[in-house]
Amino acid sequence: MIITRAELREVPLSLKEWFEISSGGMQERRALLLTLEADGVHGWAECVAGEDPGYSYETTDTAWIALTRWLLPKVVGSEVEDARSVLDAVPWVRGHRMAKAAVEMAGWDLQAKLNGVSLAHLLGGTVDSVPVGVSIGLQKTDDALVAKVEGHLAEGYKKVKIKIKPGRDVEMLQAVRARFPDAPLMADANSAYRLDRDLDRLKALDELGLMMIEQPLAHDDYLDHSVLQAQLSTPVCLDESIRSVGDTRLALHLGSTRIVNIKPGRVGGLASSVDIHDVCQAVQMPVWCGGMLESGIGRAHNVALATLPGFQVPGDISNSKRYWAEDIIEPEFEMVDGMMPVPTGPGIGVTPRMDRIESLTTRKEVFHP
Ligand code: OSB
Ligand code: MG
């Protein structure tokens, strides 16, 4: 296929509620939406970069620069064999994986639509629904957190992830565990801890029967995660640290992780996600699909990815209504008994609501060969 046109736009979306992680909070998601066109068909994707560099060095604004200055001018007009080669025109661009992922993922939607198959099918998915979890931001009080957990368990979520940071951790999670002795709970620290300073706290978390502790230590520290994992019976799950197959192999080799969170936006796209999944499958390392508070467009890619056989742990792929008063796709994502039905139509299988997207767009750039 020859990519004949691209359209990049920024669409600010207001979250239903403030979402806080150890590095800071967010109320608005300045989503970047990308369409690539070939043979009159449109492939869609969403860039997951955040508003500030608290999760990754990439931000909405750096991704805008990478996309408009280096990636899209070369990709548009190029002839690509399949989705895996969409970025072949820009092999020299280093890093900027979130920006690259948007291009690559739009390529996958495009290819699936041109082939007349669902994205899940094109990726090699094997199921028609995927288990769903939910991620709860830092709350002001333990009571507020317990109430949130209770509500989400009642809705049917199969895994409840709780954000933690030093001082909002052991006692808080003890209160939740006391109230829900058997619930599938996990914690996500977003790199807030240090091995030298916080080992006692982390060992106290080990007593709580958590499914895993996500990214306790620095985003770039594989060695300390391996030292920590050796001292915990709870699995460590790496998120920020896994940007590629290479990072995955390093972490597996060192024993830095026992579960891997795969986010296509973080690892440069769906091909990289499938490859990481395969590396983990080969050594029976469980994986699950994380989320970045995406709109329905990014969520659709995540749901498709989570249909691969290694994704046995529930993903952060919650209902549209958990994030947005109104999503920008139809139909919205809504789980049934804790399982998200996988769209069956061509490509991502959901339809972007153009009226809403147009009226929310704050900037837009179009690329022609
Ligand atoms: O660490 O998984 C994370 C949201 C923004 C940045 C980082 C993370 C998250 C989440 C949200 O946990 C997961 C979701 O999309 O529901
Ligand atoms: Mg995380």
Name the closest-CA residue to atom 14, ligand 1.
Answer: 291
The tally of domains found in the chain comes to 2
Residue 143 sits in the same domain as residue 53 = no
Regarding the beta carbon of 265 and ligand 1, being less than 6 Å apart is answered no
What confidence tens digit (pLDDT) does each residue in 140-154 have? 999 999 999 999 999
> 280 pLDDT band (50/70/90 cuts)?
very high
Regarding the beta carbon of 296 and ligand 1, being less than 6 Å apart is answered no
Report how far ligand 1's centroid is from the alpha carbon of 259 (Å).
Answer: 16
Name the closest-CA residue to atom 5, ligand 1.
Answer: 292
> Cα-flanking dihedrals φ and ψ of residue 75, to 5°?
-70, -40
Residue 131 sits in the same domain as residue 223 = yes
Out of 292, 317, 324, mutate this one to test ligand 1's pocket (max ligand atoms within 8 Å of CB): namely 292
CA–CA dist 168, 150 (Å, integer): 19
- What CATH number does the domain containing 204 carry? 3.20.20.120
Which residue out of 100, 159, 163, 165 is catalytically annotated?
A: 163
Report how far ligand 1's centroid is from the alpha carbon of 291 (Å).
Answer: 5
Residue 257 sits in the same domain as residue 282 = yes
Name the closest-CA residue to atom 9, ligand 1.
Answer: 292
Mean pLDDT for 218-243 is: 98
Q: What is the pLDDT of residue 318?
A: 98
Q: What is the pLDDT of residue 107?
A: 98
Regarding the beta carbon of 290 and ligand 1, being less than 6 Å apart is answered yes
Regarding the beta carbon of 316 and ligand 1, being less than 6 Å apart is answered yes
Cβ neighbour number for residue 233 with a 10 Å cutoff = 9
Q: Is residue 259 part of a domain?
A: yes
CA–chain centroid gap for 92, Å, is: 25
Q: Is residue 126 part of a domain?
A: yes
Report how far ligand 2's centroid is from the alpha carbon of 35 (Å).
Answer: 27
What confidence tens digit (pLDDT) does each residue in 175-230 have? 999 999 999 999 999 999 999 999 999 999 999 999 999 999 999 999 999 999 99
Residue 207 sits in the same domain as residue 321 = yes
Residue 94 sits in the same domain as residue 238 = no
Q: Is residue 317 part of a domain?
A: yes
Residue 250 sits in the same domain as residue 139 = yes
Residue 41 sits in the same domain as residue 177 = no
Residue 236 sits in the same domain as residue 291 = yes
263 is catalytic: yes
364 is catalytic: no
CA–CA dist 263, 246 (Å, integer): 15
The minimum-distance atom of ligand 1 relative to the CA of 214 is 1
The whole domain housing 91 covers 5-116+351-367
Q: What is the pLDDT of residue 144?
A: 98
Residue 110 sits in the same domain as residue 150 = no
Residue 69 sits in the same domain as residue 170 = no
DSSP state of 107: H
Q: Is residue 43 part of a domain?
A: yes
Report how far ligand 2's centroid is from the alpha carbon of 352 (Å).
Answer: 27
Q: How many residues does the chain have?
A: 369
Q: Is residue 77 part of a domain?
A: yes
Q: Give strand ranges (E) for 84-243.
A: 129-131, 134-136, 160-163, 185-188, 213-214, 236-238
Q: What is the pLDDT of residue 11?
A: 98
Q: Give strand ranges (E) for the chain.
A: 5-21, 24-38, 41-47, 129-131, 134-136, 160-163, 185-188, 213-214, 236-238, 259-262, 287-289, 329-330, 339-341, 351-352, 363-367
**24-38/5-21 β-pairing:** antiparallel
Residue 337 sits in the same domain as residue 208 = yes
Whole-number average pLDDT of the chain? 98
What confidence tens digit (pLDDT) does each residue in 90-137 have? 999 999 999 999 999 999 999 999 999 999 999 999 999 999 999 999
Axis crossing angle, helix 142-155 with helix 170-179, rounded to the nearest 10: 40
Q: Is residue 346 part of a domain?
A: no
Residue 179 sits in the same domain as residue 309 = yes
- What CATH number does the domain containing 33 carry? 3.30.390.10
